Structure formats: C-alpha cells, structure tokens
Amino acid sequence: MITIDARPLAVFAHGTRLEDAPADVVRLARLLLLDSLGVLVGGLHYPPVQAFVRGLRAAEPSGLRDAPFARLAGLGTAATWLDADSGGSFHPQGHRLPPVPTAHPAPHCLPVLLHAAAAGGVPDRRLTEVFLLACEIGMRFGVGTSLRPGLHPHGIHGPVAAALSAGVLAGLTPDDTAEALLIGASVPMAATLAVPVRGGTVRNVWTGLGAYYGAAAAGRAADGTRGSADLVARLLDSAVCTDLDTEELTGGLGERWRLADSYLKPYACARWIHPALDAWRAAVADVPDAARARGGIDEIVVETFAFAVSLDAVDVGSDMHARFSLPVCLAALALDGDLVAQTFLPDRLARPEVGEIAARVRMVEEPEFSAALPRERPATVTVRWRDGSSGTAGVRNARGNPDDPLGADEVERKFRLNVAGLLTDATADAAVAALLHPAGAGTTAIAQLASEVLAELGC
C-alpha cells in the first residue's frame, strides 16, 4: 500500500529561505501573492461575502486567537469569490478531463498569512517566503494526484498549504508541521464541479473551510494530535483522488519547482471561458469604440471546445453563475473592456445591455478544438456588426499560462482595479512596491493591508 511521508516536506519548508529558490520562481511568487491579495480584497465588494462574515462573527465563541473561524473562513471565501485566483496550469496526465486546474493553494494559505500579518506585523519578505513554500507544496499535492471526475479542487489540496503556512509561522518543529500536513490533508472537501457551473456560491466557502481546517490542523499538531499517513493515502488514492504519486510529492524538493506551472487569470471568470475572451479582444482590436457603438453587434459566433460550449446560460441567477456563462462574460467584456471585481456586482450584472448582447452570442463546438484538450483550449470568435462588417480571430490557449504569462504591469493593473474603493491608495501603493520592487527586508505593507481588510470585515 502507498504511504505518505510528510516529514521531508516539513523539513524543506522550515529550512528553505527565499534566496534558496531560483530568481524566476521568486518573481512569480511575488506576482502570485500580489494577484491573490487583489483577488481576495476584490471579493469583499460583494454583499453576500460581508453578510456571511457578519453571520459567522455573531455565532463565533470569543477567544479564538490562533484559528478564528470567522476570520479565516471569511477571508478564504472572499479569496475565490471573483473566480480570478491562480492555480496549476495543466496536469501531467494528458488524458485528464474535464480540464480542471491541478490545485488552488494560494487562496487557501493567504488567509493564514493575513491573520498572522495583522496579529504580529510579520515582514513582507517572510510572508512572501512562506507563501512561496506553501504554494509549492500545495501544488505538489495537486500534481501528485488526480481528482475524481466531477470533483472541484477547492478544499481538497488547499488545507495542506494552509497547514504548512500556520505551522511555519507559529514556529512549530518540523515534526509537528509534518503532523499538521497530515491532519490538514485528512479533511478534503469532496464537492462537485457542477455546483459552481450552475451558480452555487457555496463553492467559495469550500476555500474558506480549507483555510480554517489547515490553520486548525497546525494548532492540533502543536497540542500533540498526530495525523494518519495511511488515512491520507486512502483519501488521495481512492476516495477523492486517484493516481497518488509520492515521487511528485517529495521528489526533487528545491530542484523541481511546481510553482512555476502556475497560471494567473486576466479575467474574473471560469478559465474555460478565457480563450473566447482573448479571441474577442483580438477580433475587435482594430475597431474603434465609436465605430462599435455606431454599428452595434448583430451576432457573436464562438467556436470552441465542448466544455466551454456547455457554459451557455444567458439567464443567470447569481454572480457565480455569470462567471460560468460564456455569453454573459463576453457581453460584460464587450461593454466594460475588463472582467474585474466590480463587473458582476448586482447593479452591473442587472444592466439590460448585458442580457441583450449575451442573447446575440451563438456557440458552436469545434470537434478539432475538443480533441486538442487538455494541452490546448482553442477558440475562434467572429463578430458581425449591423452595418455588415465583421472581424474574426482565434487563439490556441488563453493568456496567463506559463508559456504566455501576464506581465508585472498587467498584474499590477488587475490588483489596483480589484482593490479600488476598499484599500487606501497609500496601502495599495505600498503593497505593489513591497512585492514588485522590494527594497528592504523590514517592510510590513502586507500587514497594513491585512489590518484594513479585517477592519472592512469587522473581524
């Protein structure tokens, strides 16, 4: 029977420093952290997130200092509300369909980091270091297993990343952190992909629970609770995942960096939709805004792969449902030019123009595009204007993947758009400077950001 030895992971995490990682991996970790911070703050724009945290706060016992449920679950929920968080790009097993990400460790460990930063003023450099290591190990659990068909990755591998963050920041021994990893990995959320596809916002709570479970696992390990390697192996090689590969979990630590396989999303919506959005932008790149307004859209034809074609809802019941609707996302992009935190707020989602353009989108499965999965996710978009003119463009993959990454300026722009109205300009500027232009080891810009975020949440 396969068994899991978590100690090499814990020893690696406790003994590795930022300067030990390759420069390109550190640069990517800084971009991922800035992007993840913006996505989490952006989620706080949404009334259901604020109401969720208020409800948790009202029911939470006092005195929960190390793993306060409302704070961690609320921050984790906010971190995936926009569906703009990063993840692993492609699974090594080419037959793996549907094409879901390997893991989403960043939004699971980030609440733990913000909690620690607000409580103790942890320096930005140390938070970046722990973020890098937690995401690396969370990604290894994603790559080293295959989700059972129909399951969603949130809450499955993420608690491991949260447990590692909490254990390292709390100064646990490597042995206790290893136990925390096993305890965190023993509570996966066996939740289905169909929930968010149909608009279920509870999907975001899975991340919040994963963050809390991971932080609580570190506390339990510190108190002497031991994890079960056999239980975790059964969960990850039978119950919620299959194909457990322990070499992927612990092999080549410090030499092979799975973090480098991460993507960053340019759009706040389901990743299956991104190729069509990139193709739209290319198809209308040479059409001035005034000409678009005069001509008006007659029809938008999207040729793409089967999974994207299935996301065809026009009448959506929640902002999550909108994020899993190719016609609605395309309509919002046509109107606003971006898909960011404010795009699907209730008043903006209810605009008649969104529904009118979405109704003009026609989607067609292209068998050759479906056959290209999962390594490629192609789409071709043809825009026909009422004046008889048209434009067509196609892409083989969306931007943001490791082979076509977003630039630092694009990540900064996305961050600033998402946090606008919730962070002060000074705090946003300081976070950008600390992560994209680090000048010293003692800056605490993330701690200031965490304080503003928690004040916004009232926790």
* Both tokens assigned to 109: 């460990």
Q: How is the chain split into domains, by residue range?
A: 7-266+402-457, 271-395
Q: Which fold has domain 7-266+402-457?
A: 2-methylcitrate dehydratase PrpD (1.10.4100)
pTM for the full predicted model: 0.96
* Residue-level pLDDT at 101: 62
* Residue-level pLDDT at 288: 78
* Residue-level pLDDT at 88: 83
DSSP state of 263: E
Q: How many CB atoms lie within 10 A of CB 55?
A: 12
Q: What would the pLDDT profile of 400-451 be if each residue is shown by its tens digit?
A: 999 999 999 999 999 999 999 999 999 999 999 999 998 776 899 999 999 9
For 431, half-sphere exposure in the C-beta direction (CA atoms, 13 angstrom radius) is 30
Give one DSSP letter per residue of 416-450, joined into a string: HHHHTTTS-HHHHHHHHHHHHS---TT--HHHHHH
Domain 271-395 in the same topology as domain 7-266+402-457: no
- Find the helix or strand (DSSP H, E) in which 251 lies: none
Please, which pLDDT band fits residue 367 given cuts at 50, 70 and 90? very high
Question: Whole-angstrom Cα distance, residue 408 to residue 406?
Answer: 7
Q: Which fold has domain 271-395?
A: 60s Ribosomal Protein L30; Chain: A; (3.30.1330)
Q: What would the pLDDT profile of 216-233 be if each residue is shown by its tens digit?
A: 999 999 999 999 999 999
Radius of gyration for the chain, computed over Cα atoms and rounded to the nearest angstrom: 21
393 pairs with which residues across the strands? 381
* Residue-level pLDDT at 150: 87
What b/e sequence results for 431-440 when a residue is b if at least 16 CB atoms lie within 10 Å of its CB, and e otherwise? Answer: bbebbbebee
Question: Whole-angstrom Cα distance, residue 60 to residue 47?
Answer: 20
